[in-house]
Structure 1
Amino acid sequence: MSWKIMAFSAYKSFTIVFILVVCLFVTISKIIFDEVYKESRIVIDEAFHIPQGLEYCRLNFKFWDPKITTLPGLYIISAVILSPFNACSDYWLKFISFTATFVNYILLFAILQVNNRHDKWKNLFLATNLSLLPPLLFFGNLYYTDTVSITFILLMILLFKIEYIILASVIALFSVIMRQTNIIWVAMLFAHLCLVELYTAVTKKKQVDLSFSDIKLLMQQLQQRKLDVKKVPKSIWCNILSFLAVCLSFVVFIITNKGIVVGDKSAHVMTFHFVQILYFLLFCLIFTWPYFISSVLPFLYLVQQRKVFSLLIISFMGVVVLLNTEVHPYLLADNRHYTFYIWNRFYQNDVFRYLIIPAYYFGGYCFFRCRMLENNLKAVYNY
């Protein structure tokens, strides 16, 4: 009986610590939230979002600001939550984002628990660390689509992982209504769903995380027509069709709307901007640098051992920077965004754009190295 008592004691201790950490996170976030609100009632694009949110909160659904580019998901949520309590004010609109911040914290922990139930202390640390990401924490104080949009994405992923697929597809639809670019997450889950369900139907084995060898085997068996459509359970087709319906609805929206944004279309034209991938690698490097310290020496060793390969990678990145660096007019004109100052103080200098390329290379190396280490750990510990 002693091991049961110890297990219960450890569970109780963790529960107490978890509650204390969440309460501390909410308390400190609330203090910061109130200070930000006192300093400035309107921040950046809240000049568009807050008036729109107030109109929807007052159930005036005919009003629409043509400068707003996203679908009205945020304003609908605001109306549903605030209107019954007659709490239509800029403070309570912002409070929705604040609430979503610690809801995201809980959802992150829940997703990590699903992935790895045996290391709840590590999951708590990771959920806290992710929730403290500065850009994410900042937008939790503003009435923007970002924070609530992430709430719907995390909820969709959690439901997907615990195999409430149809409910996840409903949340997926709401996530797209919240922010159109969320369709990328929906499409990735849809592709994953199709592969897993087809793999299960063909091999009769349940495997959530498919490797490249599994996908290769699946494609070979599909080419050999070993998938009998009539023998595939109806539940599988329902799951696939539920996500397919969301993706097709988005395609219909794009065609009828003649673009991805609903307003200010002339300033929001879809383009291929591959340099954004390099910016993303640098972003990861800056905000997760303690995690990548251990990669410095292996990276230098790689460069030393594979000089030609490294030169080719850096040259390729240089060509991408040269031919594909896009500068949005708002980036040059709108000094309300921090990216305005980053661009003007650094990237405006052509020399800097190329001097920073080795950092992109290092960021890419760290990204793929960490992914490989993660896969190796999964293989060793079988989780």
Structure 2
Amino acid sequence: MGRLAVAAAVAAWAVPVAALVNSVVPDPYMDEIFHVPQAQRYCRGEFLVWDPMITTPPGLYYVSLAYLASLFPGAWAIKVAEAFDPLCTTALLRSTNVMMAMVCGVLVHDLLLCIKPGIGKRKATAYAIIVALYPVHWFFTFLYYTDVASLAAVLAMYLFCLKKRFWVSAMFGAISILFRQTNIIWMLFFAANGAITYVQDLPVSDYVSHKNSILTDKSSTEVLNRDNTASAPGLRRRRTNSSITQRRVVSGSTNLHISFIEEVLDISFKLWNSKSKVLLHFTPFAIVLVVFVAFIFWNGGIVLGAKEAHVVSPHFAQFLYFGLVSAAALLPLHFTPRRVSELFRGCAKNKTSSSLAMLVALGLSFVAVHFFSIAHPYLLADNRHYTFYIWRKVIQAHWMMKYILVPIYVYSWFSVIDILGKSQTRVWVLSFVFAVALVLMPAPLVEFRYYTIPLVIVVLNSPIIGNCRLLALGSAYTGADLFTLVMFLFKPFHWEHETGTQRFIW
């Protein structure tokens, strides 16, 4: 029932808004001037014709063909090349993302129930609807871009990895790369943490010697019985012990808090001693990775077209921007007096290490902002993006402004990491931060839509917000959505066509 409610709620606002957008903006808009004609070529059966300005693989176009075939099965049965051409209108192609937005909502609902079993279906439904209203994701639901379908594929990959259906997860990983190449990073992130969870759920006897196994089973049984978590005699014991608990039982230590190095060594020990099983179950991810590396060598880079405009650059400031955007997206969790005092109290408990970490973070952030803030030509020229106004009216308002924002960036990242650390292991949090860096730092263009996938992962793994705060967040999202829609439909933009691209007049 929860899935149906989410899909119905998303459709309730997506369908009429999509109709309004198509009536006011019937022609291809922004990057649609490249994607729509390319999809229409595929509708005519011209699969070998490619627009050199398109940087992403053709996954979205294949999904659109399948989607149109499901809507018009008779046209598919008659003759694809001729019958499909008049059906591939801009409006119908855009509706592909409306369907993908509904799929995203359902996947978020299922992921919440999987990650947080105690959340309840009603709360999971409300959360999924709120995520669907996130302004950046919401806006691109009505345009023919790759972002919504890319998010759907990544979320499906995440869900099946959590369910330990690794072959299906790897399949969706391959599909996600067909929408956006950087999704290879998220596939590796899910696969790595899936492997860690897999070995932690194995019986202790699978990665310790026979002698230690007898001692461990006996000790584990005593601990489980004492904690009232063991099952009745003859039934298989639960395998929900964390790696920390299992390591504590084996070593005989009573210390519940182990160091990060010990955690890494514990995981490495288990992975090494269960390597044959890990390789067997996670081979499909390795196959996808090998094929992707072969593609990079064949293509001469990660992007398909317009390589001169998407050169890999050390854009370290991009990493800082995401911290602020992700914290602002969950405003009730991060920017409240209670949260600020809670974070500083936590730092006060370990003054030396926390002060050192804070100083290092501030120092590196100032260096990143001063030397590695990139103003891409598209950012400076295109006044149809929020980032255009944020860059000119905020960051460039005064030469000191970009430095004034650094403490806010650092606070945001510290808060996000602290929040994630309450529900995930330190290895998981560190690997997530590393994955975000790999995805965002090489990108010279500042685009909020690049943040959508890691942002949704943060939302899924953050604590549950109370009903009042959730309602306030949903209201804020809705207000931002309506403002974006009004600006999109009624603000005049002027541009010139110049060598196949658009040069905007400000």
Alignment-derived partner of residue 8 in structure 1: none
Residue 360 of structure 1, CA deviation: 0.7
Alignment-derived partner of residue 58 in structure 2: 72
Secondary structure, aligned partner of 1:350:
coil
Alignment-derived partner of residue 324 in structure 2: 282
Conservation of the 8 A alpha-carbon contact between 1:44 and 1:337:
no
Residue segments in structure 2 that go unaligned for 5+ positions in a row: 73-83, 214-237, 245-259, 426-460, 462-506
Alignment-derived partner of residue 49 in structure 1: 35
Match of 1:39 among 24, 28, 31: 24
Residue 118 of structure 1, CA deviation: 3.0
Alignment-derived partner of residue 68 in structure 2: 82
**1:95-121 superposed Cα distances (whole Å, 9 cap, x missing partner):** 000110011000110111112333223
Distance 1:192 1:208, change over 3 A: farther
Secondary structure, aligned partner of 1:118:
helix
Which structure exhibits the higher relative contact order, with contacts defined as CA atoms closer than 8 Å and separated by 6 or more residues?
2
**1:203-238 superposed Cα distances (whole Å, 9 cap, x missing partner):** 59966976655542243467xx7x376xx45xx533
Alignment-derived partner of residue 416 in structure 2: 367
The normalised TM-score by structure 2 is 0.64
Alignment of 1:3-42 (within 5 A): 15=1, 19-20=4-5, 22-41=7-26, 42=28
Whole-Å Cα distance in 1 between the matches of residues 340 and 42 of structure 2?
Answer: 51
**1:254-296 superposed Cα distances (whole Å, 9 cap, x missing partner):** 1111111000011111122221111001101222112222312
Whole-Å Cα distance in 2 between the matches of residues 172 and 220 of structure 1?
Answer: 27
Alignment-derived partner of residue 162 in structure 1: 163
Alignment-derived partner of residue 178 in structure 1: 179
Whole-Å Cα distance in 2 between the matches of residues 21 and 332 of structure 1?
Answer: 38
When Rg is computed on C-alpha atoms for both structures, the one with the higher figure is 2
Alignment-derived partner of residue 7 in structure 1: none
The letter for the 2-side match of 1:338 is Y
Alignment of 1:122-271 (within 5 A): 122-198=123-199, 200=202, 201-202=206-207, 213-220=262-269, 227=273, 232-233=276-277, 236-271=278-313
Distance 1:275 1:27, change over 3 A: same
Distance 1:207 1:272, change over 3 A: farther
Secondary structure, aligned partner of 2:422:
helix
- Measured on the aligned residues, the alpha-carbon RMSD in Å equals 2.8
The normalised TM-score by structure 1 is 0.83
- Percentage of identical aligned residues: 29
Whole-Å Cα distance in 1 between the matches of residues 341 and 274 of structure 2?
Answer: 52
Whole-Å Cα distance in 2 between the matches of residues 209 and 72 of structure 1?
Answer: 42
Residue segments in structure 1 that go unaligned for 5+ positions in a row: 1-14, 379-383
Residue 79 of structure 1, CA deviation: 1.7
Whole-Å Cα distance in 1 between the matches of residues 321 and 102 of structure 2?
Answer: 27
Q: Does 1:296 align with 2:344?
A: no
Which segment drifts farther, 147-156 or 288-297?
Answer: 288-297
Residue 303 of structure 1, CA deviation: 8.0
Q: Tell me the matched-pair count.
A: 355
Distance 1:237 1:134, change over 3 A: same
Distance 1:210 1:97, change over 3 A: farther
Whole-Å Cα distance in 1 between the matches of residues 143 and 241 of structure 2?
Answer: 37
Distance 1:346 1:151, change over 3 A: same
Alignment-derived partner of residue 483 in structure 2: none
Alignment-derived partner of residue 478 in structure 2: none
